[in-house]
Every structure is written in structure tokens, then in C-alpha cells.
Amino acid sequence: MATPLQVTFLWHMHQPCYRDPLSGEYDLPWTYLHGVKDYFDMSAIVQEVDDARVVFNLVPSLLEQIRDYADGSAVDRFLMHGEIDPADMSADQRLFLLDNFFSANRERMIDTHPRYLELRYLLGNGSHSSSVDRLRKVSDQDLLDLQVWFFLAWTGEAAKRRYPELAGLIAKGRNFTREDKRLLLAAHRNILGEIIPLYRMLHEQGKVELSVSPYFHPILPLLCDSDIALASSLRSNPPKIRFRSPEDARAQVAGGIDYFREVFGFVPRGMWPSEGSVSDQTLAIMAECGLEWAASDEGILAASLPGGLGAAREKLYHPYSFARDGKDITLFFRDRQLSDLIGFTYSRWQPGRAVDDFVQRLLCVRKDVPDAGHVSIILDGENAWEYYPENGYRFLSSLYREIGKNRLLDFAKPSDDRVRELARRNLGHVHPGSWINANFGIWVGHPEENLAWEYLHKARTAAVAGNPEVAVLMASGMAVAADAGEGPSPADSICRSLYAAEGSDWFWWYGDDHFSPHSEHFDMLFRNNLINVYRLLGMNVPGELYQAIKKVTPAGLVRKPSTLITPRLNGMVDDYFEWHGAGLYDLSRQSSAMHAGESLLNCFFYGYDREYFYVRVDGSSPLDKVLLPDDVFRMHLLLEREYILPLMPGACVGELLARMGNSWVGTGHACNWVVSRVCELRVPLAAFSPQMGQTFFAYLTLTRGQDEIGRWPTLVPLSLCYEGQELELENWLV
């Protein structure tokens, strides 16, 4: 009988610590909401499918928060606003609901529920209206329905199927009562209380292997030495003050293991290091702490091996062994393409077609790589599902069943005997980097990121100098102390705040790689952890910590282009890296207040290669769902003259037009575009001939009938600078 390909699914479950150390309140609700939607659903689906075998990787800072919500000790301002009776609300509390309770995926979580969609049109499009106007048109019943629908929409599909009362609320749809809301929130408390026991039970049954990450999800190699960024990328610009505390990395690893053991009653064998970030030093720390296996991205393996992965990527489909000081650890590397198909692509496909495609790709690995023994699919376990119908329930259930019944494929967990018996290849050195670009550019190098590292270094130095017990604890690399009910010691609390500030999420939102409407909250939580350190030391808090690190850029500019790009035009967002080097504007706060166009567009990406200028426009909903057949969507370019490109839905080719007096004439240059989930287009550079270093401008309009119903930006066009081919050279010389 043919040997089946061993297939490992590792779902990484992570949230940073949203509890503000100064107030004790949860500043953002994502642990609660993903708990009732994803952390329960993911385990429940595995429980329902007999043959399913997977790995769940759990971050201790997430487990802490789930326990807080389950036992009722979490003080969450979103939950508090959900519990208040609208009749008893102040004006500010009512506005909080209007501003925050539409924070859900529009297509999958709002549009599918008629009453929630009705409320969004009635109450959720008022960002340009006065507070008085917004409150005037909202009734107590509207707010009660909004409270219920916000939490109901964030409830997972498996959870709805297991709790009949939730299905009853969905069927009722509107005119909810206080008792309805009480019933919903009581079901949520039960769901949250079931999460950890369900994971533990599945592990005991052998259906699941549970693994761990460092306690507060830090980038371990940067904790060991921030200058390692120089070894991972020629483009790195590390902080001026070098952060070098390998003992903190050890404390985060050891603390994660200890807390995991406290929660589940056994020691985990494996670890997904935060963001797949590894180095020789951090792998040695993991092995020293007793871990048997760890995992990272295929880009790390490719950079670690002479000649990369091979023509057929055959070197990817094996476990590896890394040894230091007499201790070794097994390494697995994720298949990026397979993982990203689930994370970014299949949400737009019919579930059956997506499952068939994925299974065929696995079979091709087995067929085309003769000695392939094992493949790892690793991705976040919570973030993809809001883009899937039914929270991914049908897709995942069907995928597990199809793999389970295929004799050429076999579910495998890293600690299974048959995986441990696979031949391991030796790695003498591992390229330092993360799952993104095999470097650390997301977390260090930008002035905001470097400033945060410098503040962290200063606070740590003050703590070690100002409290002898802290100095002993941190020098020893002792495990992180959990926030126990009886209260940790002052030294433990100081260490805890420092370790929390080392988490990767704060640095993720600094810089210009990503943007979020909640980025100021992440900034505040980072600084408040450092403020807490100084307060516990009895020292004056440096004034700089009261100033935001995250800067608000003019006119919505998030970042300028950092490298040449050549994206594939398909109207989809199916490759994380494809537009990563592009310039980016946030359009969500720059729209006109004109009817339906008000909140249509969110982002404007732009970049170029040697031949073309590229643009991607993202909407708050898929553009092909909201643009009507007769709508006219246009991109305008302003250089020496004005150019215009009308964009029709679908995949099209059209001519760029130039203004001549009061007329529009063809330039003779064909442009390509696709308007589907997003709009992607390319314009030949020769069509408008920008010069090196020249600034040109762009804006977008939407016309419906005779009326322009949207313009982005409203007042001043986007300023775009063409750096030419020097852009690539400049970045390599940094």
C-alpha cells in the first residue's frame, strides 16, 4: 500500500493582552468576540468530524483573557455598553454604540441579516453628521436591536447550532427584548466557559495536540538582540539604543510553558514562536526549556539552505533537526501557498470547489515530490473566518472529512509516533527571520518602531536599577508570573508589565506597514504598560510616555512605496506580499458625505515597476456587490494634464483618456483592470510619462445617473511621487 502524505494543520490562536494595566479594564473586545465566534467553533468542528486531527497553538496571554471572561472577572467596556438598557443610557453611551457596534465584516456578518443591515443604513453612516442629528433618529428599540445583533453576528456557526436559543433569536430578527439580550449574553458566557475544557478534552482523546507560544507573543530574536535585524535583511535600520536581553526571551518561553501547564495539566511538546520568528539563539532557548519541536515559514528554510528549496520545493516536505549544546529540536516549515489559500483565497470560492482544489494540491505534492513525507499548513486560527460564509463551518468540516477518507493523505500531529519516526535532515544554522519576508521589518526599523524599542529599553533599565528583586528575576530569566487572584508581588508586576510591552502586536501597528482604526489603542496599551513600570517603581513617569508614538499622517497617507511591485490583476486579495511594498492611503476618513458613496472605499494602494503604474482600491464591502450596473467609477490622474480611466465591473481593457480643452481624447495606451472584490488596475507609464522624482495626483469618483455620489478624497487629491527605478536601488542602499 502506498505511504500516505502526513498532513499537519496548525491553527495559531492569539490575542495580545487588552487589559489596561492602569485601569484594569479591557480596552478592546477581540478576545471575547473571537472567543464566541472562532475559538469555540474551531474546536467544535474538530470534535464533530471523526477523523479530524489538528494542532491548536495557544498563546498564554489569550488563555488568561479567556479565563477572565469565563469566570466573569473581565471588565470590558464593549460588554458593559452591550449590557446597559438603552433607556438608561447617556448620550455618550448611545454614541459609543453607534460608533462601535457595526465593527464587523460587512458582507458576511451584517449584510446577511436584514435588521442589522437596516440599522447600519439608518444609524451607521453618520460619521459626517453632528452628534445631535445622529441621536435624534435613534430609538431605544433600535439600540437594543443593535446591541443584540452586534453580539449575535459575532457568534460562531457551530455555537449557533449547539445553542438553539441563538437560532431562535436569529429567526426573530428584530424587536428584541431585555430578556432576549440576557439570554444571548448568558449563552455567550457558557460558550466562553466551554472553550478551555473542550480543548483539553480533545487533547486527551488524541484528536488534538496543544502547543504553546511565548507568554506575551514577543519577537524572540529581537529580544535577544535587536541588531539581529541586520543579519536578516540588508534594508534594516535597527534602533540607536540596542535592545539585548536574551534572558527575557527565556522568561517568555519558560513562562508560556509554565502557564500552559497550569491551565491544561501537562507540559506542551511544541511551540509556534511568535510570528514564526526564529534564530539560532532562540531555538537553543526553546530546546533548553524542554520543547521537542517548533515551526516557522518556508522562507526561513529557503534562506537557510544553499540553493533554496529546490526546483520542486522538495526540501520543504521534511522535518529538520537543529542542535546546540547537546540539545536538539525538530523543526517544521509551513507551506506558504497552501496556508495562504485558506487564509486569503478560498473565502471567495464555493466551499466544495475550494475543498476539492486543496485536496488535489496535497495529492500533487505527494505525486510530484517522490520522497515527500510531511506537509505543514500553518496560519491564524481566528482571522480568516469572518470572510467565509458560515464562519468557515462548511469549508472546514468538508475539508477535514475529505482528507480523512483519502487513503493517500493522513492527518498527523508533530508528536505522533509516525511523524517522530520520519527521517530528519540536519540544519546547522537557521536564517534569522519571521514568516513575513524572512526578516523582522514589520517590527523594527521604522522610526515609530525604533522609538518604542528605545522606550522599552529605558523602562527595563530603570526597573533593573530601581528594584533589586526585579534585577534578580530578570537576570535569571525566570518564568513570567501569572496575574494570580491573590495578587502578584510588586516585582512580579513590574516584570509582567515589561514582558507585556515586549509583545509583537504593539510593534505590528507602529510604522507604515499596516493600519487600523484602533491603532491608537494599541499605542496606548504599549505606553501604559511602561507607565505602570515607573509607577510601581515609585519613579516619575517620563513625559514622552504621555505622547502618542503612532503619528497621524497628513491626508490619510499611511506609507509611501518601498519597492517595485508587479501584482497579478485578479480583483482579489489572495497574496499577503503582493502589495506589501506599495504606497497606501486610508480613504475611510476622506470620503465625501454624498449619500451611498460615503463609506464605500477604504484603501488606495499604488506602486509601479519598470513598465506600469499599479493601483488597488479596497471597499468596505466587495466592490462588485455594491456597484450597480450603470454606475460609472473613474480614476483621475493629474500631471501636466488630466487623465481619466472609466472602470467597469469585471475584467476589462480600455484606453486611458486625456483632457484636451473641454474634450477627452484617447492616448493610444491600453490599460487593464479587474473590478471584483477589490479594484486592481495598471496603466502604462508611457501613457502619462512621469519623470523621476516628479509628483502627480490622483482621485476617484463614483457617478450614479446624473449625480456624483462619491469622491475620494473629498477636497485635495492624493499626492503620489514617482521615484522610478531608483526606488529599488535606494532601498537596497539603506
Residue-wise pLDDT tens digits, 562-584: 889 999 999 988 887 889 889 99
Phi/psi-derived region of residue 5, left when phi > 0, alpha when psi is between -120 and 50, beta in every other case = beta
Bridge partners (DSSP) listed for residue 330: 293, 321
pLDDT of residue 717: 84
pLDDT of residue 729: 45
Q: How many CB atoms lie within 10 A of CB 293?
A: 24
Distance CA 674, CA 344 (A): 18
pLDDT of residue 599: 62
554's grid cell: 497628513
For β-strands 694-704 and 707-712, DSSP reports them as: antiparallel
Closest alpha carbon to 300 in 326, 320, 328? 320
Contact 508, 284 (CB under 8 A): no
The C-alpha angle with vertex 263 and arms to 258 and 266, in degrees rounded to 5, equals: 65
DSSP notation for 629-685: TT-EEEEEEESSSEEEEEE-SEEEEEEEEEEETTEEEEEEEEEEEEESSSEEEEEEG
For β-strands 5-13 and 409-411, DSSP reports them as: parallel
pLDDT of residue 387: 92
Distance CA 243, CA 453 (A): 7
Element (H, E) at 695: strand 694-704
Give how far the C-alpha of residue 253 lies from the chain's centroid of Cα atoms, to the nearest Å. 22
Whether the bond between 717 and the residue before it is cis, its omega within 30 degrees of 0, is no
Distances 105 to 150, 151, 268 between C-alpha atoms, Å? 11, 13, 34
pLDDT of residue 380: 97
Contact 517, 497 (CB under 8 A): no
pLDDT of residue 235: 66
pLDDT of residue 730: 44
Total H helices, total E strands in the chain = 27, 22
Per-residue exposure over 49-63, b if at least 16 CB sit within 10 Å of its own CB, e if not: beebbbbbbbbbbbb
CATH class of 557-733: mainly beta
pLDDT of residue 137: 85
Locate cell 495536540: which residue? 209
197's grid cell: 475544557
pLDDT of residue 249: 97
Closest alpha carbon to 651 in 668, 637, 671? 671
Contact 33, 150 (CB under 8 A): no
Could you say which residues of the chain have pLDDT below 50?
126-128, 591-598, 729-734
Closest alpha carbon to 220 in 175, 142, 279, 145? 279
Contact 133, 125 (CB under 8 A): no
Contact 667, 655 (CB under 8 A): yes
Distance CA 142, CA 541 (A): 44
Distance CA 519, CA 507 (A): 10
Contact 312, 366 (CB under 8 A): no
For β-strands 208-212 and 54-58, DSSP reports them as: parallel
Query: HSE on the CB side for 471, CA within 13 Å?
Result: 7
Contact 371, 310 (CB under 8 A): no
Q: Domain residue spans in the chain?
A: 72-204, 447-552, 557-733
